[in-house]
Structure 1
């Protein structure tokens, strides 16, 4: 299966996170990425895997991973009484091609830690 384009790194994300990426760099999803998501986070993938493109297009927050150099797109979904902060991590290959690497629901502690550090940047379209 050839990797499928599922989104773009837009100007808003580039400006908020101060990235040196070409505007509208395509984001791809490949078979190995899907396998990782299904194997590593099966419940999260089953619940939100069909929403990857939506999360990339209209996140509530974005963040930059401090060590892995990935862009994290985070969308809040309301499930009964609970808020799920669903994170899709996008990372460039050696050749600079952006891939959606993983998807998971953030633990509440992780969400709090991101908030404390000021890492969750609100995503606002101008």
Structure 2
């Protein structure tokens, strides 16, 4: 399977996170990324795999991982029980090609930690 383009890094995200990336740099999803998501986060993957492009296109928040140098796209989804903060992490290969590496629902504790640190950068809707 050839990697599929699932999004692009917008100028807004580049500006908010102060990234040195070309505007509209494509984001791909490859077979190994899908396998990782299925294996590591099977329930989250099952529930949200159809939303990856939407999360990348219309995140509620973005963050920069302090150690892994990945861009984290976070979108809130609501169901009867609670709201899920769904995170898709995007990282560049050594060749500078960006891939959606993982997808998972953030634990409440992690959401609180991000908020406390000011790591969530809100994307204002026009």
TM over 0.5: yes
Aligned-residue Cα RMSD (Å) equals 0.7
> For residue 69 of structure 1, what is the aligned residue in structure 2?
69
> For residue 103 of structure 1, what is the aligned residue in structure 2?
103
Shift of 1:22: 0.4
Equivalences for residues 74-93 of structure 1 within 5 A: 74-93=74-93
> For residue 122 of structure 2, what is the aligned residue in structure 1?
122
Runs of 4+ in 1 over 2 A off after TM superposition: none
> For residue 19 of structure 2, what is the aligned residue in structure 1?
19
CA contact (8 A) 1:44 1:103 kept: yes
Residues in 1 aligned to 2:125 and 2:106: alpha-carbon distance in whole angstroms: 24
Shift of 1:105: 0.1
> For residue 9 of structure 1, what is the aligned residue in structure 2?
9
Shift of 1:124: 1.8
Shift of 1:79: 1.4
Normalising by the residue count of structure 2, what TM-score does the alignment of the two structures yield?
A: 0.98
CA contact (8 A) 1:10 1:24 kept: yes
Shift of 1:81: 2.6
Normalising by the residue count of structure 1, what TM-score does the alignment of the two structures yield?
A: 0.98
CA contact (8 A) 1:12 1:125 kept: no
